């Protein structure tokens, strides 16, 4: 654990990580957390701006992990019908990865899915991230359901994973 914390300023190590709903004051920091969005997804910055406005208005769920009032992680979930949703975004700032922040964000939402009898959640990711990100989601019961070839241009494939309440996984 010490090696993982070495990139974090010592003054922050003693402060608690807080996970809370998105606030409009988080907007700039959320953009900072997602630097690849513009280059990875056509219209990505406009999409994020729209999602944050929708979160402000209560139309999507956005959780923010903060440390000393600095956003270090974000989860955005969009409804897809009465009993389904898409986990649109999950990001944790590089110095804070492997500290279970992403795990906490997804676990919070998974408990809500179960309480609200959600029937299906899906998440998509760039194919090149699948070997590292896919197993993370598999721990929560997500399974591979589709590959979208050339989704964002030639050679830019996307993996789709889905969760259903009967997956039997406890994360």
2-118 has CATH 3.40.50.1820 classification: no
- CB atoms under 10 Å from CB of 161, counted, come to 23
Do residues 102 and 125 make contact, with C-beta atoms less than 8 angstroms apart?
A: no
Beta bridge partners of 139: none
Q: Can you give the pLDDT at residue 2? A: 37
Beta bridge partners of 86: 78, 122
Q: pLDDT tens digits for 79-96?
A: 998 899 999 999 999 999
Beta bridge partners of 79: 85
- Residue 69, by phi and psi: left (phi above 0), alpha (psi -120 to 50) or beta? left
Among residues 116, 124, 118, 123, which one has the least CA distance to residue 84? 118
What parts of the chain have a pLDDT lower than 70?
1-14, 167-171
Do residues 142 and 163 make contact, with C-beta atoms less than 8 angstroms apart?
A: yes
Q: Can you give the pLDDT at residue 1? A: 34
Give one DSSP letter per residue of 59-104, joined into a string: SSEEEEEEETTEEEEEEEEEE-STTEEEEEEEEE-GGGTTSSHHHH
CA distances to 38, 114, 148, 152, 163 from 48, rounded to whole Å, are: 10, 27, 21, 17, 23
- Containing 111, the helix (H) or strand (E) segment is helix 101-115
Q: Can you give the pLDDT at residue 15? A: 75
DSSP tag of 8: S
The half-sphere exposure of 133 on its side-chain side, counting CA atoms within 13 A, is: 19
């Amino acid at each position: 654990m010490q090696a993982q914390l070495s990139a974090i300023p010592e003054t922050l190590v003693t402060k608690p990580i807080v996970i809370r709903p998105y606030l409009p004051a988080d907007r700039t920091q959320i953009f900072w957390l997602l630097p690849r969005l513009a280059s990875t997804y056509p219209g990505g910055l406009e999409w994020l701006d729209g999602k944050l406005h929708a979160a402000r208005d209560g139309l999507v769920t956005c959780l923010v992990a903060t440390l000393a009032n600095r956003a270090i992680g974000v989860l955005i979930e969009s409804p897809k019908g009465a009993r389904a949703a898409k986990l649109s975004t999950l990001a944790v700032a590089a110095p804070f990865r492997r500290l279970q922040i992403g795990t906490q964000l997804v676990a919070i939402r998974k408990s809500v899915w179960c309480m609200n009898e959600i029937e299906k959640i899906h998440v998509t990711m760039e194919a090149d991230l699948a070997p590292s990100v896919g197993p993370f989601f598999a721990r929560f019961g997500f399974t591979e359901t589709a590959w979208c070839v050339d989704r964002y241009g030639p050679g830019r494939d996307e993996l789709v994973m889905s969760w259903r309440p009967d997956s039997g996984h406890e994360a």
